[in-house]
Amino acid sequence: MGDLYALDFDGVLCDSCGESSLSAVKAAKVRWPGLFDGVDSVMEDWIVDQMHTVRPVVETGYENVLLVRLLVEMRVPSIRKSSVAEGLTVEGILENWSKLKPVIMEEWNENRDALIDLFGKVRDEWMDKDLATWIGANRFYPGVPDALKFASSTVYIVTTKQGRFADALLRELAGVTIPPERIYGLGTGPKVKVLKQLQLRPEHQGMKLQYAHCFQLLCGRSTCDPEECHQRARIRWMELVSRGLGI
């Protein structure tokens, strides 16, 4: 019957770290304007640079906003409101993010849904004001657009990215149109649940599900080395392409 392909977006198809980091800085300025009064362009550049290092811990976009503030608190002791920033390093974030996140969420009195909404609105405003710059802050990995354009098998996108952003990048940057019913973005449910639902569809019976993802579900561990995870994801993607997904 053939294969069914479910692909994660960030870290597998698209390198969106530049855009997500810049959007997170914009969102952090909106959410905590007083804390960012002393953040100049030099510090912003430092934040974005550090975000490239800590990006692998992010599973849902709003976490970028938390990371931006945490980095600022690490750098500027006078504005610290969390108990974890003192002495913290980027290596510490990579190793302990799952423990750090609930602590800072509580200490900063933040709400997950509110941050998701803010992060989405900031991106929407950027797209509305300057779509070309927003698009240009992302890049698809080599070979991805052609592989998607000429795929002979059914392809689904299963991501924690908000679906409208994945769709916009696919259309505007990769020149690929994937029907909206085949894009499962933030709010459509846990990835494992979505994958099970895809497998159970009558039209998919007898097909083998092939899934490329860059975090825990790919490497099979609750924690993993970020670079290893991304390397595995890219290897998995190339395996899928060579087996008939694309050209």
pTM above 0.85, yes or no: no
117 three-state secondary structure:
helix
- Structural contact between residues 235 and 246, judged by C-beta atoms closer than 8 angstroms: no
Query: What's the CA gap between 211 and 13, in Å, rounded?
Result: 12
Query: What's the CA gap between 243 and 210, in Å, rounded?
Result: 11
pLDDT of residue 226: 43
pLDDT of residue 240: 53
Return the C-alpha torsion angle 176, 180, 183, 189, nearest 10.
170
pLDDT of residue 199: 87
Going from N- to C-terminal start, the domains of the chain cover: 3-15+140-245, 17-132
The stretches in the chain having pLDDT less than 50 are 215-227, 229-230, 234-235, 237-238, 242-244, 246-247
pLDDT of residue 239: 53
Q: CB neighbours (10 Å) of residue 155? A: 20
According to CATH, what is the number of the domain 3-15+140-245?
A: 3.40.50
